[in-house]
Chains A and B, each alone.
Chain A
Amino acid sequence: MTQLALVIDLNVCVGCHACVTSCKQWNTSGWAGPMVDENPYDANPTGTFFNRVQTYEVGSFPSTETVHFPKSCLHCEDPPCVPVCPTGASYKREDNGVVLVDYDKCIGCKYCSWACPYGVRELDEQQKVMKKCTLCIDRITDHTLPEAERKPACVIACPTNARLYGDVHDPDSEVSVAIRERGGYALMPEWGTNPANHYLPRQKTHMHVTEEDLQRSDNPLTKEDITVYQGEETMEDVTW
C-alpha cells in the first residue's frame, strides 16, 4: 500500500515560511478551501493555516542552536484522529494514506483535534468545520498536471528543498532513502501513531586543523626576506 508523506530536513530549513503561505494560496482556492482569515486587517489577525513554521532555541548562549521547525499533519499510519470521528468525516484514503476531512460530513465537534497529539488540525472558525493539511490532494492526484508538478504546493515552493515528498512504503523512494540514511525520525513516537511524515536531524560539519597543517615547507613566507631595510648606508654612500 502506498503511504505518501513529507520528510522535512531540519538541517537545511531556514524558517522562511514559504511552505506556510504557498499552502495557503493553493488550498484557499482549491478542494480544501477556503482557508478563512479572521480580522485580516484588524487587531489579533488569525486564520486557518495547514502548515506552521515554529522556532525553537536549543541550549544557552553562546552554544545556542536556532531550530526552525515546520509542522503540518503527519498523516499517521495509525491516525488517532480518524476512529474517534463520529460521522466518518475524517478518513484515511486507502489508495495513498492521506488523512482527509470531508467538510460536508463534519459536524465541528472538534473531537478529532483532541485526538491528535500534534495540534495540526484547525477548526475553520467561520465555516465551523475541521480543516487540515491534505498533502495537496487535488494536486498529487491530478493527472492533468505534469508529473513534476504533482506534488504538494509547499514542496514545490520550498527554497531550500527541505521538504521531500514521496511514498514511505516504497523502500527505494527518495523519502525512504533519506529516512534510512539520514536518521529520519518521527515526532512523539511514544504514542504509537506511526506518523508517515518524518524529520531529518541537524548535521554538523567540522574541520580539524593540525599543528602540521600550519607548519609547512612551502610556506610562502620562506620566499620573503622579511627584514625590512630602509635608508641603510650602501656601498655607494661610503666615501673612501
Chain B
Amino acid sequence: MSLNFIAALLYLFLYAPLAVVIVYSFNAARFGAGWSGFTTKWYGALWENSLALSATKNTLLLAVSSTAIATVLGTMLGYGMNRFRFPGKALFGWFLYVPVFIPDIVMAVAMLLFYSLLRKWCSLFELGLTTMILAHVTFQIPFVAIVVRSRLVGLDPALEEAAGDLGANEWQTFRHVTLPLILPGIVAGGMLAFTLSLDDFVVSFFTSGPGATTLPILIYSSVKRGITPDINALSTLIVLASIAGTVVVTLLQRTKKV
C-alpha cells in the first residue's frame, strides 16, 4: 500500500463521522438508518425548537463569560509566573498542568462533590449557570496561562528594559510594550479557552442544573434517547461552525507570518 493510499484512508476515517452526521441531517426518514429522500425540514424544525435555542444561548453565555474571566486571570498568571519569584512557585507550576491532563470526569465529580458540600452553607452553589462558569474558568485558566507564558518566553527581555530605560514605569511598560507584543498569545489562549468551553460536555453535565442545558448536554441526552434527525441538523451546524472557525484561524496565522 502506498503512503498516499494509507493517508487517504485515514482522512476518510477522520471525516466519516462528520460526513454521516451531515448527510443524515438531510434524510427525510425520522427513524433508522435507511435513506428515504432529501429534505431540509429538520433545519426548520430546529428553528422552532425552543430547547435547542435556549441551549445555544446558554452555551454561548457560558463560553463568553468563562472565557472573559479565564483570559484575564490566565494572562495575569502567565505573566506573573514568567516574571516574578514566590515561594512554592515550582510546585504551583506543576499544579498548573493538573487541569490540562486530569480526566474530565474526575474534575467533574470533584466539582459536583465540592458544590454539594458548599451548598450546606451557601445557596450560591445551587447547580446552574454560575457553577458551570466557575468550573469552566477553572479548566480554562491553565491553558491561557501556558499559552501566554510561552509567548513571553520568546520575548526579548531587552524590550521591556528599554521601555523602563526610556522612562516608562512598570504599568506603562506593560501597557505599551508587553501587552501589544503578547497580544497574539492572549488571543490564541482566549480562543483555545473559548473552544474548550464550547466543546465541554462532561464538566458541564455534572455541574449544570435544571434550565442550564448547553448544546453538548442537549445532544447527549438526545443521543441517549435515540438519535433524531433534528439533532443531526444541529450537529451539522456545529460541525460547519468548527470547520469555519479552524479555517479562519489558520488563514489568520498564515497572513501574520507573511
Chains A and B come from one and the same complex: no
Interfacial residues, chain B to chain A (CB-CB below 8 A): none
